[in-house]
Amino acid sequence: MKLLVTGGAGYVGSVCAARLVEEGHEVVVVDDLSTGHADAVPEGATFVQADLADAADDLLADGVEGVLHFAAKSLVGESMTDPAKYWDGNVVTSLRLLAAVHRHGVPRLVFSSTAATYGEPEQVPIPESAPTRPTNTYGATKLAIDHAITSYADAHGLAAVSLRYFNVAGAHDRFGERHATETHLIPLVLQVASGLRAQVSIYGDDWPTEDGTCVRDYIHVTDLADAHLLALRHATAGLHRIYNLGNGTGFSVKEVIDACRRVTGHAIPAELAPRRAGDPATLVAAADRARTELGWKPERPDLDTIVADAWRFTQSRLGG
Ligand code: UDP
């Protein structure tokens, strides 16, 4: 298929673009490089550096059969202090993209949604039927886009799938996580193990969880990418389907730091810090729907495997 991958120079987008190229698809990546890296676009994909909202019309004019939409602002903390960046960068841009998708009759769309759409869950693991009450602006903007996509599927027959990621980690081949300003737990902990950072902060130990630190469901980026390939194949005209992607097991911040200690052999000093605004205590996925309807089966659910792949990537970046 001829596919447009928005945000394909970013972490998840580049891994998905690589998997799509591996599967023989014709891939065009559009990315403004505000957070992505040109050298993360896989060989075999065409790269267009542009602002998506401006370029969508031109990019879709040429018989594109599907869009995988990753381009987004995605930092929870920043979304609380700079909401305009998130409402404009995520919602306005996505509305422009959706309008262009409709104008050019693009039949299918796979959207990068998030567990942050649920907010503090009433029920854990969280099913897709759970109420969506985001506790941060990032989640609210992704939820708004999900609603818009539903309208386009209902009104115009778009075949749409939203994939609600839990905590993505690990690396695929030479593609991994490298943000100029890193805020995610596993890469930060691995920076300590690499000697780039003296210690890691634990954002609160008085949460209502077993050891008092926040619990998350970590999913390997390759497993996540594979779900996008399945979603593309199973997307059905006129339906907007929503799937959670996670392993169904939660690990606390302390458990993640311990896994990093095991994998790297480094002591990794940690200090207690205040809670981070917008964080829910626990996010764990019920991903049965993706398993039964898409036939998705995560192959790398083990936390140490996820951390080991992230560590290999971190070391290769430092070496090269
Ligand atoms: N976290 C932490 N210290 C850090 C970074 C993150 O304690 O330096 C915690 C954060 O509060 C959250 C969990 O680790 O509970 C995962 O955070 P991350 O930013 O990786 O992903 P998020 O769950 O926000 O998408």
**Sign of the CA dihedral 259, 262, 264, 270?**
positive
| Ligand 1 mutation target, pool 184, 192, 215, most atoms within 8 A of CB | 184
Question: Can you give the pLDDT at residue 219?
Answer: 98
Question: Can you give the pLDDT at residue 142?
Answer: 98
What is the CA(112)–ligand 1 centre distance, in A? 19
| Nearest-CA residue for atom 15 of ligand 1 | 214
Question: Can you give the pLDDT at residue 82?
Answer: 97
Instruction: Specify which residues 30 forms β-bridges with.
Output: 6, 48
Cα separation, 214 vs 251, whole angstroms: 8
Please state whether the peptide bond connecting residue 125 to the residue before it is cis, i.e. omega within 30 degrees of 0: yes
What is the CA(23)–ligand 1 centre distance, in A? 33
Question: Can you give the pLDDT at residue 318?
Answer: 84
Contact 41, 31 (CB under 8 A): yes
Question: Can you give the pLDDT at residue 256?
Answer: 98
| Nearest-CA residue for atom 12 of ligand 1 | 214
Cα separation, 140 vs 87, whole angstroms: 9
The domains spanning 2-168+220-245 and 172-216+248-319 adopt the same CATH topology: no
| Nearest-CA residue for atom 5 of ligand 1 | 185
Catalytic annotation present for 138: yes
Contact 171, 310 (CB under 8 A): yes
Question: Can you give the pLDDT at residue 277?
Answer: 83
| Amino acid at residue number 183 | T
What is the CA(62)–ligand 1 centre distance, in A? 41
Which ligand 1 atom is at minimum distance from the Cα of 276?
A: 11
Convert the pLDDT of each residue in 222-277 to its tens digit: 999 999 999 999 999 999 999 999 999 999 999 999 999 999 999 999 999 999 98
**Sign of the CA dihedral 89, 92, 94, 99?**
negative
What's this model's pTM, rounded to 2 decimal places? 0.96
Low pLDDT (below 50) residues in the chain: none
Catalytic residue among 138, 152, 203, 218: 138
Cα separation, 8 vs 15, whole angstroms: 8
Cα separation, 139 vs 120, whole angstroms: 11
Cα separation, 161 vs 172, whole angstroms: 23
What is the CA(135)–ligand 1 centre distance, in A? 14
Contact 28, 40 (CB under 8 A): no
User: Which residues are CB-contacts of 182 (< 8 A; sequence separation ≥ 6)?
Assistant: 188, 191
| Amino acid at residue number 314 | T
Contact 12, 24 (CB under 8 A): no
What is the CA(81)–ligand 1 centre distance, in A? 17
**Sign of the CA dihedral 86, 88, 91, 94?**
negative
Q: Which CATH superfamily is domain 172-216+248-319 in?
A: UDP-galactose 4-epimerase, domain 1 (3.90.25.10)
Question: Can you give the pLDDT at residue 258?
Answer: 98
β-bridge pairing 251-252 and 215-216:
antiparallel
Q: Find the helix or strand (DSSP H, E) in which 159 lies.
A: strand 159-165
Convert the pLDDT of each residue in 21-56 to its tens digit: 999 999 999 999 999 999 999 999 999 999 999 999
Around ligand 1, the residues with Cβ closer than 6 Å are 76, 167, 183-185, 188, 200-203, 214, 216, 253, 276, 279
Residue-wise over 83-97: b if at least 16 C-beta within 10 A, else e?
eeebbebbbebbebb
Instruction: Name the residue ranges covered by the structural domains of the chain.
Output: 2-168+220-245, 172-216+248-319
- For the chain, helix, strand, coil in percent to 5 are 40, 20, 40
Fold of the CATH domain 2-168+220-245: Rossmann fold (3.40.50)
Contact 124, 284 (CB under 8 A): yes
| Nearest-CA residue for atom 6 of ligand 1 | 185
H-type alpha helices, 23-92? 52-60, 76-81, 83-86
